[in-house]
Amino acid sequence: MTVNERAVWATLITFPLVGAVYFAVVLTRAAEMPVDEVSWVVPMIWAMGLLIGMVILGTIAASIATAIAAEARGETAELEEGDVRDKQIELLGDARAYQLSGFGGLAAIILLMVGAEPFWVANTLFLSGILTGMLAAGIKIRAYRNGL
Amino acid sequence: MEFSQRHTLVGTAISIVAMLTYLTILVARAVTDGLPLAEVAWQGPMLWCVGLGGALYAVAFAVMRAQHRGQRVSDERTERIDVQAEFAASGITGLAVLAAIVMLALDVDAFWVANTLLIVSWLGSLAGAAVAIDAYRGGLDK
């Protein structure tokens, strides 16, 4: 498994987790008070930081675990760098997921047209970003397992 | 000219015309009514330009597809071009979404947020189209 593939797995696990926690926090706040008083900015900055940080840490942890497991079996760990195939899979996943992010942008523009609260617009965009990231990771995992 | 190359060129032309029409309407409204740009009613023109542009593209696509009836219109090469173009567009569209979220966090007027989303996403699709057009002219493996 290459470093890129581990990062994709880390994304596939991190995005739904962080997304679920973020929306649980923000939506419970929104249920308790008017949405224009909900402070969503700080939680979202945290969530974005966690998305990036956890993918990096997850990738490193997975690499270390692989190395330890290989040592335990008395083999040398194979930690491959990415190659042309990784690059192609990366392109494919991001390209195909792009269409979903287009719908998110359109939904946000329509919300802005009808004068929705910034809270709903920003969270629609954030949700579509999380879903796009998950879709891209899913397409990449499928390509890793079933070939391009 | 093959089908996928033609529909990329025609789609790009339609999208540029639609966007220029939209921006012209906004500026014209601002100038003739003596309003600041951000207070112009942008919702109607945006819906019309995006809707009409999309409909025109759908019709053009259907006509061109009918002209190529019975032929294979996609192969491994057009697939690869498609993926590279969408990849180029996806990066810039991601920036548009992030920029819009930051603007919302700073409580910027809806006019600017919506138009940033529209125009930057449009620039993204234009960058994708440029990659595709270049690749059709033989530049895929440069």
ipTM of the complex: 0.85
Cβ of A105 and B105 within 8 Å? no
Return the sign of the alpha-carbon dihedral for residues B96, B91, A130, B11: positive
Average pLDDT over residues A15-40: 91
What residues of B are in the A interface, CB distance below 8 Å?
Answer: 43, 46-47, 82-87, 89-91, 93-94, 96-97, 100-101, 104-105, 107, 110, 113-114, 117-118, 121
* Distance between CA atoms of residues A121 and B3, nearest Å: 38
> What is the reported pLDDT for A45?
93
Q: Does A118 touch chain B (CB under 8 A)?
A: yes
pLDDT digits (tens, 9 = 90+) for A29-70: 999 888 888 889 999 999 999 999 999 999 999 889 888 888
Asked if the model's pLDDT at residue B142 lies above 70, the reply is no
Confidence of residue B35 (pLDDT cuts 50, 70, 90): confident
Q: Which of B92, B101, B115, B121 to mutate to test the interface with A (most CBs of A within 10 A)?
A: B101
Query: How many beta-carbon pairs below 8 A join chains A and B?
Result: 76
pLDDT digits (tens, 9 = 90+) for B5-30: 888 999 999 999 999 999 999 999 99
State how far residue B1 is from chain A, nearest Cα, in angstroms.
Answer: 24
Cβ of B93 and A101 within 8 Å? yes
State how far residue B126 is from chain A, nearest Cα, in angstroms.
Answer: 14
Confidence of residue B70 (pLDDT cuts 50, 70, 90): confident
Task: Please name the residue that has the structure tokens 């089908």.
Answer: B3
* Alpha-helical regions (H) of chain B: 3-33, 43-67, 76-105, 110-134
Task: Please name the residue that has the structure tokens 């966690």.
Answer: A50
Helix/strand/coil for A111? helix
Cβ of B89 and A44 within 8 Å? no
Give the nearest partner residue to A113 out of B82, B90, B114, using CB atoms: B114
Share of chain A above pLDDT 70, in %: 99
pLDDT digits (tens, 9 = 90+) for B81-139: 999 999 999 999 999 999 999 999 999 999 999 999 999 999 999 999 999 999 988 76
Give the nearest partner residue to A98 out of B47, B86, B101, using CB atoms: B86
pLDDT digits (tens, 9 = 90+) for A118-145: 999 999 999 999 999 999 999 999 999 9
> What is the reported pLDDT for A47?
95
Average pLDDT over residues A73-93: 82
Residue A104 is given by DSSP the state H
Cβ of B84 and A91 within 8 Å? yes
**Neighbouring C-beta atoms of residue A148, cutoff 10 Å:** 9
Cβ of B117 and A108 within 8 Å? yes
Helix/strand/coil (H, E, C) string of B14-39? Answer: HHHHHHHHHHHHHHHHHHHHCCCHHH
Task: Please name the residue that has the structure tokens 């921006």.
Answer: B23
Secondary structure (DSSP) of A22-47: HHHHHHHHHHHS-GGG---HHHHHHH
Which range marks the domain in which residue A51 is found? Answer: 3-146
> What is the reported pLDDT for A89?
92
Minimum mean pLDDT range among A77-81, A84-88, A105-109, A131-135:
A77-81
> What is the reported pLDDT for A81?
73
* Distance between CA atoms of residues B100 and B92, nearest Å: 12
Asked if the model's pLDDT at residue A82 lies above 80, the reply is no
Give the nearest partner residue to A101 out of B97, B104, B110, using CB atoms: B97
Give the nearest partner residue to B83 out of A95, A101, A109, using CB atoms: A95
| A137 closest CA partner among A7, A23, A37, A29 | A7
CB B118 within 8 A of CB A109: yes
State both tokens at A121: 């617009």
Helix/strand/coil for B68? coil
Query: Nearest residue on chain B to A36, judged by CA atoms?
Result: B107
* Distance between CA atoms of residues A72 and A57, nearest Å: 22
What total of structural domains would you count in chain A?
Answer: 1
Asked if the model's pLDDT at residue B73 lies above 90, the reply is no
